[in-house]
Amino acid sequence: MNISYHQAPDYVPHLQPDLYPDLYYRDPNLKQQTLTAIDPVVRHGLREAQHLGYRHALREAVAIGYLMGRGYQYHTAWKTVESWWRPPGTPLPQHPY
């Protein structure tokens, strides 16, 4: 697994989480940080679902979240995923915020 310590400071690759269940609770702000980071992705998915259906919207939202987990900023991940469903040269829609 390719995780740097600046992305996941409490991740200890040699420990097995099943053997150390408190490993995920070391950072008391982890929940809020996570929810704050994914909030734009959730909002995007809910907007997309109104127009394109839940299956497509969920795929986009998860793909954006995956790219963010790989280190992309939200806006770059959003543009990347949006580009996958457009013919080359087609402009992306205006981002709502």
Q: Cα angle vertex 54, ends 43, 72, to 5°?
A: 45
For the chain, what are the domain ranges? 33-84
CB atoms within 10 A of CB 19: 7
Question: Is 43 within 8 Å of 36 (Cβ atoms)?
Answer: no
**Cα separation values, 19 from 16, 23, 26, 81, Å:** 6, 9, 15, 36
Query: What pLDDT does 20 receive?
Result: 63
Query: What pLDDT does 1 receive?
Result: 43
How far is it, in rounded angstroms, from Cα 28 to Cα 7? 16
Q: What is the DSSP letter of 79?
A: H
Q: Which of 46-50, 58-62, 84-88 has the lowest mean pLDDT?
A: 84-88
Q: Tens of pLDDT along 26-55?
A: 677 888 898 999 999 999 999 999 999 999
Query: What pLDDT does 83 receive?
Result: 92
- Of 8 and 20, the structure prediction assigns the larger pLDDT to 20
Instruction: Read off the pTM.
Output: 0.69
Per-chain mean pLDDT for the chain:
80
